[in-house]
Structure 1
Amino acid sequence: MKIISPCRIHMGLIDMNGSVGRIDGGIGATLDHPNCEISGKESNEIEIQFSNSIINNTPEEDLKSLHDRIYHSSKNVLKEIGQEGVYLKVNDVIPAHTGLGSGTQVSLSTGKLTSSIYGYDLDAYSIAKLTGRGGTSGIGVSGFEFGGFIVDGGHSFGKSGEKTDYRPSSASKNVKPAPLLFRHDFNWEVVLTIPKIPTEEQVSDKKEVDIFKKYCPVPEDYVNRFCRLVLMKMMPAVIENNMESFGECINEIQGLGFKGAEVQLQNSTLKNLLKHLQNTSYSGLSSFGPTIYSLGDKKEIMEQSKEFFDKEGLDGEIIVSKGNNTGYKLI
């Protein structure tokens, strides 16, 4: 049995103010490529194998982290369904630390495949609880299950709420995944420009936790504007297939609320790359980056990305992808 799950671009957290009694909430979309692919079968113990391409192209520390994530995800699901082991071969993964949701997708893929091998039909939300995913953004969880453009409803906030402070998903392990508010097919092609950023300049783990503490709550005016753009412009634009209207929102929200903080915390090269691409396309930072996603003339976007890479002496990838509207595929 084999599972293939999509990556996701995370366009922004809607409300990191909390004055109405909820925080988080997210907008994003799933894409066909890059993706996560794992095959598996029954076993008496947990066995994990990686393809040669993953072994050869993944730093040792990241490979160990990936192994541990898969091991614990499978172990938690096996305990839930009353089984002892599973054999898993990881054929392909979404690049880690790029803002494309690699951690959530590999955890959910592991859980779904493990349970399915033994005939159990656990949904993404059940697996997310077992594997500790979706504690802040619900885009990865709902995207895994359904695909498409997603808006989630965040979490109750305050003394009696699900959350009492502002935290990233990595530090929100015991919070249930956010409810799905809106889902629609996402039919546009997207260019992913992924520059290689030094590890010390990447935003993850403790750095991410500290950023949430420092920049939240964000001013209510920013949240109000963000909400209006999502409800009255982005969602209708997706339904009406109006890329220009949707793209105008993408460009504007790069300076709004928590997304504005995410952008401003990037190094100057990445910020300049975003501005460079916005000259000829609709471009935004996915999560904490470094991936920049762009809508528009794909040939022009690729040329502009290559031009910037050459000018700045940057290494990286430029990937043309398209909306995924099915979520995971079990084969």
Structure 2
Amino acid sequence: MTVRVEAGARLHVGFGNLSLAHERLYGGVGVALEEPRVRLVAEPADEVVCSDPFVRECAEGACELLGVAGAEVTVESTLPRHVGLGSGTQVGLSALAAVAAAHDRSPAVRDRAPALGRGGRSGVGVAAFKDGGFVVDAGH
């Protein structure tokens, strides 16, 4: 099955608490953006095939996590890296969602995010991917 997954960028306003003297760490506020967006198309394959090295790496991690052989992933658009738009989380979770849907699976992306190295400190990016909108993260 061929599937398309889209996710908008996010802005993370900042952490609310970085002090070990308090019970909760890394709370913050963020907002999901309509544009720019990640747009991936995926279909099952015998191995991971993707021309974008970062998306390919994310798809390989998704295949390993899901226990599937591979996927052919086409990048229609992606986010610029290292400019504060959450590209790592949005691309990583988009790759997971696309590979999963291509293989007719529907994992809880929020639950799988830590296995992909996402959402460990802040949950803003994961929540923005899942639900969009304005996000308040109470920390952990």
> TM-score w.r.t. structure 1 length?
0.40
Q: Is residue 40 of structure 1 aligned with residue 25 of structure 2? A: no
Alignment of 1:140-179 (within 5 A): 140-155=125-140
Which amino acid is the alignment partner of residue 33 of structure 1? E
TM superposition shift of 1:33: 0.3
- Identify, as 1 or 2, the structure richer in helix: 1
Which amino acid is the alignment partner of residue 86 of structure 2? G
Residue 96 of structure 2 corresponds to: 111
Secondary structure of 1:140's match?
helix
Residue 121 of structure 2 corresponds to: 136
The whole-number CA distance in structure 2 between the counterparts of 1:7 and 1:104 is 9
Question: What is the RMSD of the two structures over their aligned residues, measured on CA atoms?
Answer: 1.4
The whole-number CA distance in structure 1 between the counterparts of 2:91 and 2:20 is 30
Q: Is the 8 A contact 1:73 1:107 kept in 2?
A: yes
Q: Is residue 77 of structure 1 aligned with residue 79 of structure 2? A: no
TM superposition shift of 1:72: 3.3
Which amino acid is the alignment partner of residue 93 of structure 2? L
Secondary structure of 1:107's match?
helix
Alignment of 1:189-228 (within 5 A): none
Relative distance call for 1:71 and 1:126 in structure 2 (3 A) is: farther
Residue 96 of structure 1 corresponds to: 81
The whole-number CA distance in structure 2 between the counterparts of 1:76 and 1:9 is 25
The whole-number CA distance in structure 1 between the counterparts of 2:44 and 2:72 is 6
Which amino acid is the alignment partner of residue 36 of structure 1? V
Alignment of 1:251-266 (within 5 A): none
List gaps (5 residues or longer) in structure 2: none
TM superposition shift of 1:119: 1.1
TM superposition shift of 1:74: 2.0
TM superposition shift of 1:91: 1.2
Which amino acid is the alignment partner of residue 34 of structure 1? P
Residue 33 of structure 2 corresponds to: 31
Residue 325 of structure 1 corresponds to: none
Residue 4 of structure 1 corresponds to: 6
The whole-number CA distance in structure 2 between the counterparts of 1:80 and 1:28 is 27
> TM-score w.r.t. structure 2 length?
0.91
Deviations 1:10-39 (A, max 9, x none): 111111123222211110100100111111
Q: Which protein, 1 or 2, shows the higher relative CO under an 8 Å CA cutoff with sep ≥ 6? A: 2
List gaps (5 residues or longer) in structure 1: 51-66, 156-331
The whole-number CA distance in structure 2 between the counterparts of 1:18 and 1:47 is 43
Number of residues paired by the alignment?
138
Residue 21 of structure 1 corresponds to: 23
Relative distance call for 1:73 and 1:130 in structure 2 (3 A) is: farther
Alignment of 1:287-326 (within 5 A): none
The whole-number CA distance in structure 2 between the counterparts of 1:129 and 1:10 is 18
The whole-number CA distance in structure 2 between the counterparts of 1:111 and 1:102 is 14
Matching residue within 106, 110, 115 for 1:125: 110
The whole-number CA distance in structure 2 between the counterparts of 1:97 and 1:129 is 20
- Percent identical among aligned pairs is 30
Secondary structure of 2:21's match?
coil
The whole-number CA distance in structure 2 between the counterparts of 1:27 and 1:119 is 33
Which amino acid is the alignment partner of residue 29 of structure 1? V
Which amino acid is the alignment partner of residue 115 of structure 1? A
TM superposition shift of 1:92: 0.7
